[in-house]
Amino acid sequence: MSEEKDTSRGQGFIQVLHSNWMAWYAMWFLVAYFLLVAGSMAFIDLNPYDQQTMDFFRPPRISFSFSQGLSKFILGTDDLGRDVYARLIYGARNTFLYALAAAVISSLAGGLVGFLSALYSSRLLNIIRILVSSVRSYTPVILAFAIITVLGPSLKNAAVAIAVSLIPRFTLICHEITTSEMKKEYIRAVMLDGAGTLAMFRLSLFPNIRDVLIIQFTKHFSMAILDLTALGFLGLSAEAQEPELGSMIAENMDMLYTGNYWIIAIPGVAIISFVIAINILSDGIRNALHRENL
Partner 1 sequence: MILILLRKSAMLLLSAVILLLLTFWFHVRSNDLGDQDLFLRFLIYLNRILRLDFGFSAQSSRPVSGEFLEYGAATAELCLAAMIPSLAAGFFLGCFAALHKDRWLDSAITNSSIMFSSIPVFWIAQIFIALLAVRVDWIPSNGRISLLYSTEQITGFILVDTLLRDGFGDSFLNALTHFILPVLSLSILPTTEMIRIVRNSLYSVMQQNYIKAAFSRGWSSWYIIYRHGLRNAMPSILAQCGSVLFLTFTSVIIVENVYNWPGVGTWIIEAIRSGDVNVVNAYLVLVGMLFVVLNISLEFAADLSIIYLNHPGRGRSTPS
Q: Which residues bind partner 1 (CB under 8 A)?
A: 130-131, 134-142, 145-146, 148-150, 222, 226-227, 229-230, 233-236, 246, 249-250, 253, 256-257, 259, 261, 264-265, 268, 271-272, 275-276, 278-280, 283, 292-294
Residue 180 CB, nearest approach to partner 1 (Å): 12
Residue 23 CB, nearest approach to partner 1 (Å): 12
In the bound state with partner 1, the residue whose beta carbon lies nearer, of 200 and 249, is 249
Residue 45 CB, nearest approach to partner 1 (Å): 29
Region for residue 195 given its phi and psi (left: phi exceeds 0; alpha: psi -120 to 50; beta: otherwise): beta
In the bound state with partner 1, the residue whose beta carbon lies nearer, of 10 and 259, is 259
Other C-beta atoms lying within 10 Å of the C-beta of residue 153: 21
DSSP string, 91-141: HHHHHHHHHHHHHHHHHHHHHHHHHHHHHS--HHHHHHHHHHHTTTT--HH
64 three-class SS:
strand
Angstrom CA distances, 234 to 84, 154, 231, stand at 20, 12, 5
Residue 99 CB, nearest approach to partner 1 (Å): 12
Give the closest residue to 115 by CA, choosing from 172, 48, 169.
Answer: 172
In the bound state with partner 1, the residue whose beta carbon lies nearer, of 24 and 206, is 24
Residue 112 CB, nearest approach to partner 1 (Å): 20
292 three-class SS:
coil
* Rounded Cα distance, 291 and 207, in Å: 15
State the amino acid at position 254 in one-letter form.
D
In the bound state with partner 1, the residue whose beta carbon lies nearer, of 204 and 252, is 252
Residue 290 CB, nearest approach to partner 1 (Å): 10
In the bound state with partner 1, the residue whose beta carbon lies nearer, of 63 and 293, is 293
In the bound state with partner 1, the residue whose beta carbon lies nearer, of 158 and 200, is 158
